[in-house]
Each structure stands twice: as C-alpha cells, then as structure tokens.
C-alpha cells in the first residue's frame, strides 16, 4: 500500500488535536512519527492539508478539513470491518457449508448438528453429498468450510483428523443361508452373487479387496447409493460388502438385513474430518468439537460391525 491506515489515523488524530505533540501522546508514539505521517498524506495527494505553526501546533486547511471527513469515514469503515471479522470468528452464528463423502452420513450427522442448531437458532447449515475428489476440491476452492471424507489421496493443503476406522463386513438378507454366521471368511465369497457400491474410490477399494484374496467375483449389480445396495440385498439379488452400518437393520423396502464381520483383518476405510487449518471461525470449531465428541461415544461404535447383528 502506498499509504497505510496507520498514517491516515496519525494524520486524522493530529488534525483533530491541532497538535503533533498531543497526537503523539494520545497514540503513544514519538512526535516525529506523526509529522512523517502528515508529510506522507500530503505527498500522496499532492495537497497542502495542514498549516504548521512553530510552538503553537497545527491547523488543517479547508482542503485538509474535507480530507479529514473522508479519512474519518474510511477509518470507521476499516474498524467496522475488523470488528465484524472478529465477530465472524467468535460468534456462534452464520452459515456453515459441509461437504461429505460418507454414504451413511444421515445416520450420524443429525446427532452431531442437532444440539448445535437447537441451542443456536441463528446458525444455518448446508450439506452437500459428493465423492471424495469433489469434496476435497470444494474445500480448497472455498465452497465448503469443512468436509467429512475418506482419507485416501488427501490433497496438499488439507488438514484432517480421524473420526472412525471402519472395517468391511458382509451384508446379507436375513433369510440368506449365511445370515446365522457370527463371522465369515472373505474366501467364502468366492463366486457368490455380489451387489457393489459403485462410487469413486469405494468401488476400487472393494474390487482390490476381492483381488487381494483371489476371489472369483460374480458382480451381479452395482448402485451409486448405499440404500439402493441395501435394498437390492434385501430383495435377494445378492450379498454386498460395506463398511459403515446405519442404525436400522431394514432396507428402504422394509426387508430385514444382517451384517456379518469378516474373520480376516481386512483393510479398513478411515473416515476423517478435513479443513484448511489455521484460525477458524467459532462455528467451525464448535462443529469440529461436536464431531470429535460424537465419534468418541458408544453410539458411534454402532456404526461399525464388530459382532453378529
């Protein structure tokens, strides 16, 4: 900047006090700093704004008086901006945009944000479901304040923290021959009809899991939503591999489902909370704390399969 806010403030206070010495005492700076600031303002606008009287102080010219009004308005606007910025950082109000790549987010997100909304009626939330890449790109572009996603190929510039480790499990209809098993080996899936969730990264994860155990895959259907996968499984189309479990054992169609853990220590999906780091608005801090708090509860443990349903 050719002319700083500080210089303008020094100029304004000196003109208001009609004294460089008084302005220096008021601003707790040396008189030479005030004098230099006045010179800078006059030089910048190429105008005579102040008449100096040795041992008597200063007097703004008619042009200087007009300039004082403009400078006063500018400084007031600047101070208001800083004040509003501070309120934005500290006040629990305003809007929060959350992008998420978590197919069963409706199973846990309401429990996280419900208390925040109930206690703070001025808060507005916007949730956007997207894939892993879209979530990260949106965060970096400023479309989202934070994201909940899978920690795979995390982009530079994104800070994240783990919320949940979710191992895979087998989902079958309650009347399926395997439904009574307390646990099952991945090798048992050999040639079983499978319904897979077809989303970026997730489909690759499931296919690599099948390849790792050299299974003869028989994928009979794919779907882009967890609920469609669950409904197809409930209808007897096939079995499926998923990682997170909603609170209900019913599909959208009302069919009873059963989740069975695998014997093998198969790779988990890691659900994380991502943000851009640095100082954050209070609303974002509160949301982040609520996420941490929820995923530390026994309720969150029900989102993963560790025993027979």
- Residue 309: the pLDDT is 44
Q: Is residue 307 part of a domain?
A: no
Please give the Cα distance from 228 to 210 (Å, whole number).
21
Cα 30 to Cα 7, 24, 258, 296, 306: the distances in Å are 13, 6, 78, 56, 70
Please give the Cα distance from 19 to 27 (Å, whole number).
12
- Whether residues 159 and 99 share a domain: the answer is yes
Q: What is the mean pLDDT of the chain?
A: 90
CATH of the domain at 72: 1.10.10.10
Residue pLDDT, tens place only, 227-260? 999 999 999 999 999 999 998 999 999 999 999 9
- Whether residues 275 and 257 share a domain: the answer is no
- Whether residues 277 and 144 share a domain: the answer is yes
CATH of the domain at 143: 3.40.190.10
Please give the Cα distance from 208 to 15 (Å, whole number).
74
Q: Which of 65, 88, 111 is the last residue of a domain?
A: 88
Q: Which of 31, 58, 88 is the last residue of a domain?
A: 88
Q: Is residue 145 part of a domain?
A: yes
- Whether residues 35 and 179 share a domain: the answer is no
- Whether residues 66 and 206 share a domain: the answer is no
- Whether residues 159 and 173 share a domain: the answer is no
At 91, is the pLDDT very low, low, confident or very high (cuts 50, 70, 90)?
low
- Whether residues 126 and 141 share a domain: the answer is yes
Q: Is residue 132 part of a domain?
A: yes
Q: Is residue 305 part of a domain?
A: no
Mean pLDDT of 76-105: 81
As a whole-number percent, the residues of the chain with pLDDT over 70 amount to: 97
Please give the Cα distance from 308 to 171 (Å, whole number).
11
Q: Is residue 309 part of a domain?
A: no
Q: Is residue 98 part of a domain?
A: yes
- Whether residues 128 and 202 share a domain: the answer is no
Q: Which of 34, 68, 88 is the last residue of a domain?
A: 88
Q: Is residue 63 part of a domain?
A: yes
How many CB atoms are closer than 10 A to CB 179? 17
Q: Is residue 308 part of a domain?
A: no
Q: Which of 80-89, 180-189, 230-239 has the weakest average pLDDT?
A: 80-89
- Residue 55: the pLDDT is 74
Alpha helices in the chain (DSSP H): 5-17, 20-27, 31-45, 62-90, 109-119, 132-141, 202-212, 226-234, 282-295, 298-301
Cβ neighbourhood burial of 238 (10 Å; 0-12, 13-18, 19+): buried
Q: How many domains does the chain have?
A: 3
- Residue 217 structural domain: 168-261
Record the pTM: 0.69
């Amino acid at each position: 900047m050719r002319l700083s806010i500080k210089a303008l403030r020094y100029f304004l206070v000196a003109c208001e006090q009609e004294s460089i010495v008084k302005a220096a005492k008021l601003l707790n700076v040396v008189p030479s700093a005030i004098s230099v600031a006045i010179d800078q303002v006059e030089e910048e606008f190429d105008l005579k704004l102040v008449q100096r009287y040795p041992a008597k102080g200063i007097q703004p010219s008619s042009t200087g008086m007009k300039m004082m009004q403009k400078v006063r308005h500018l400084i007031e606007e600047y101070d208001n901006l800083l004040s509003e910025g501070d309120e934005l950082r500290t006040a629990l109000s305003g809007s929060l945009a959350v992008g998420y790549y978590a197919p069963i987010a409706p199973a846990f997100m309401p429990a996280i944000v419900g208390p925040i909304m109930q206690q703070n009626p001025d808060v507005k939330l916007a949730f956007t479901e997207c894939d892993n890449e879209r979530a990260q790109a949106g965060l970096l572009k400023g479309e989202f304040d934070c994201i909940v996603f899978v920690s795979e190929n995390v982009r530079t510039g994104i800070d994240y923290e783990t919320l949940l480790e979710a191992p895979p499990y087998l989902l079958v209809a309650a009347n399926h021959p395997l439904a009574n098993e307390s646990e099952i080996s991945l090798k048992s899936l050999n040639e079983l009809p499978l319904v897979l969730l077809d989303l970026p990264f997730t489909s690759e994860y499931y296919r690599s899991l099948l390849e790792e155990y050299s299974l003869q895959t028989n994928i009979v259907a794919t779907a882009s939503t967890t609920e469609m996968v669950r409904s197809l499984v409930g209808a007897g189309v096939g079995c499926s591999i998923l990682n997170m479990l909603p609170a209900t054992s019913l599909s959208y169609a009302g069919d009873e489902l059963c989740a069975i853990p695998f014997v093998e220590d198969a790779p988990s999906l890691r659900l994380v909370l991502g943000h851009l780091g640095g100082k954050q608005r209070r609303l974002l801090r509160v949301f982040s704390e609520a996420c941490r708090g929820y995923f530390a509860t026994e309720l969150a443990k029900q989102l993963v399969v560790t025993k027979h349903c």
